[in-house]
Structure 1
Amino acid sequence: MRKIAFVFGSLAAVGAGSYLVVYLYRWQWQRALLCGVLLVVVEVLLLGLVLVGRLARIEERVRDSDRRQRELAARQEDVLARLRGEPELSGGGRFRWLEDPAERTYVFVPVLMVTGVLLSGLAWLVQRIASATGRPAERRLAGRLAILAAPDPAAHDDLDDLPPPGAGASRGRIAGVTAVGVLGAALVGALVVGLADLTQTRDEDANDSAATSVVVQVDMRGTDMTAGRRSLAAQQVWERCRDSTAVPLSHAALGDLGDGLYAGVVRPALTDHDRLRLRGCLEDATLERAHLTVVGIGDADKDDD
């Protein structure tokens, strides 16, 4: 369950980060702030999932360690109890014949001595036969094991110049980590520089057209939304976006075209960057139950009526 939550959280973080970049490019600050807050929340959630997983593994290890300690203590107590307990003798003594009266005569000791002598002689004979027949086998075994012997230091004086075991692997790992770090830093730097270039307010070449016309569509949610409320919402958004461009829209009026369409004429004409900023401001409206969509934006030549 935790893995599924981590996967969905990662996808949500990727989506929030992508839309954050898109809304920053479109100059839609309210939506960018919402995506940024969502991205922070998802990152905190992912961090919490990672910490919970780590804590669960630590708790499981501590529980296993306690269980092993309890089992070891129980075995130690069992062995200690057995060592401290009295020995149990079953059936009397081991050598009851020693407790019998001395008047009785036994043949156990002479038989034991004769048997020992015979066994010693038999062992000596087996040892002689084994030493006579085992030398060729030992030589063959030594020949097989010669490949595993260490090389002669006198014949290999350059062994000291060889790198220690694992040195090549460690260098390769360090090189891989360094390459990944450099690539990641380059990508992050390129993303930051690209966003800074896209969202920078800069002086652009003036537009030779006479004016710029903007047509917006106002959509309202609710059953009591009349034409007057729609017109008021359009005017409020238009007034709020007057200073969103490099040149303030001081002489720009918004006219009603009917059916929720409104047109505004901006003089002097807007540059491409100012168009992007004005579109982003209009479509990023924060009015309750109102949404503006830029239907069209274009330049009007001096010869046009």
Structure 2
Amino acid sequence: MRRVAYFFGSAAAAGAGTYVVIYLYRWQWQRAILCGVLLLVVEVMLLGIVLLGRLARIEERMRDADRRQEDVLARLREKEARPAGDRFRWLEEPTSRTYVFVPVLMVTGVLLSGLAWIVQRIASATARPTAERRLAGRLAVLAAPGPARDADPNGMDDPEGRNDLADLDDLPPIGIGARGRRGRTARVLVVSAVGAALVGALVMGLADLTQTREEDAKNSEATSLLLKVDMRGTNMTAERESLAAHQLWERCRDSTSVPLNRATLGTLGDGLFAGVVQPALTDHDRMRLRGCLEDTGLDRTHLTVVGIGDADADDD
């Protein structure tokens, strides 16, 4: 169940974050704010699920510790409740022969300790430090050269008649653990580099898409728009549709980067309206004006930009 919650929460967070970027690119601020709030809610929910899981595991460990402590206390109380005569009953039976067991055990321990001491003495007197010599031979290649080696670079003064370079063959190979650590380090570096490259590409792509640039002016004199207003509810007359369209139109006149000297809106009937703005809008200003108009700010009103294009002075 927790994995299902993680899956749906991650999918919702990814979708909300994607649409935040999309709506910001389209200049639709209300929708971007709603998706941002949804993203925060999903993140808080995922954080709550993780914290609840951690708290549940901590409570389970505390209960296990309490149970083990109660078991230990119960055993200690059972031992304390036992009578003292039941522990060493064989000491209370004078007719038995078992009382000689302890002295015999002690004498046997003393004899075995003496025998072990004799064996250790014999081994230390007869053994040769073969392992130490072998280790010293392997480490000799790492030692600094002495005065005799400085005098004779070819190693003729070596009492054993061997060159130091020959000791390189006696060095042990690199262990599997070292190779494993190097492999993990290499994988971490590769994954980190790939992740940094992907994040950098994403940031540069978003910056390129959302950057405001100076664009060349259009050759046309004006830009025309065809709008459609849809209103939900009863008693939605043509006058109310016209009022809502003009409110949205006047609100979005200042959304472009260039001032609009003339912006008129006319009614075509059946919820359709035609607007003309001067001067002609660039591609970026078109996107800003369209995003503002479609980002509905009125209750029960939805405005759609059906079409947008350039218009000349001789167009009807």
Band of TM-score, shorter chain: 0.7 to 0.9
Shift of 1:8: 1.7
- Quote the residue 2:48 is aligned against: 48
Change over 3 Å in CA distance of 1:239–1:7 after alignment to 2: same
Verify: 1:286 aligned to 2:282, yes or no: no
Equivalent position SS for 1:252: strand
- Quote the residue 1:211 is aligned against: 222
Equivalent position SS for 1:166: helix
Distance (Å, rounded) in 2 between the aligned partners of 1:159 and 1:230: 94
CA contact (8 A) 1:201 1:246 kept: no
Figure out how many residues of one structure are paired with residues of the other and give that number: 250
- Quote the residue 2:11 is aligned against: 11
Distance (Å, rounded) in 1 between the aligned partners of 2:188 and 2:83: 58
Verify: 1:201 aligned to 2:209, yes or no: no
Distance (Å, rounded) in 2 between the aligned partners of 1:180 and 1:157: 36
Shift of 1:85: 4.9
- Quote the residue 2:108 is aligned against: none
Change over 3 Å in CA distance of 1:162–1:227 after alignment to 2: same
Distance (Å, rounded) in 2 between the aligned partners of 1:15 and 1:72: 53
Shift of 1:220: 0.5
Equivalent position SS for 1:247: coil
Distance (Å, rounded) in 1 between the aligned partners of 2:250 and 2:170: 83
Change over 3 Å in CA distance of 1:94–1:3 after alignment to 2: farther
- Quote the residue 2:284 is aligned against: 273
User: Rg larger in 1 or in 2?
Assistant: 1
Distance (Å, rounded) in 2 between the aligned partners of 1:72 and 1:30: 63
CA contact (8 A) 1:211 1:299 kept: yes
Residues 1-305 of structure 1 aligned to structure 2 (within 5 Å): 1-82=1-82, 84-86=84-86, 95=95, 162-163=173-174, 165-305=176-316
Distance (Å, rounded) in 1 between the aligned partners of 2:174 and 2:72: 44
Over aligned residue pairs, what C-alpha RMSD do you find?
Answer: 2.7
> Unpaired runs of 5+ in structure 2?
98-133, 139-166
CA contact (8 A) 1:26 1:276 kept: yes
Shift of 1:253: 0.2
Distance (Å, rounded) in 1 between the aligned partners of 2:290 and 2:248: 11
Structure showing greater relative contact order (alpha-carbon pairs closer than 8 Å, 6 or more residues apart): 1
Shift of 1:293: 0.4
Q: Where do 4+ consecutive residues of structure 1 move more than 3 Å?
A: 79-90, 92-97, 152-165
- What percentage of residue pairs aligned between the two structures are identical? 65
Shift of 1:159: 6.5
CA contact (8 A) 1:24 1:195 kept: no
Shift of 1:217: 0.5
TM-score by length of 1: 0.73
Change over 3 Å in CA distance of 1:89–1:16 after alignment to 2: same
Change over 3 Å in CA distance of 1:159–1:245 after alignment to 2: farther
> Unpaired runs of 5+ in structure 1?
98-151
Residues 44-77 of structure 1 show CA distances to partners (whole Å, capped at 9, x for unaligned) of: 1111111111111122122112212222232233
Distance (Å, rounded) in 2 between the aligned partners of 1:166 and 1:96: 61
Structure 1 letter corresponding to 2:6: F
Distance (Å, rounded) in 1 between the aligned partners of 2:75 and 2:169: 54
Shift of 1:241: 0.8
Residues 88-109 of structure 1 show CA distances to partners (whole Å, capped at 9, x for unaligned) of: 979x968589xxxxxxxxxxxx
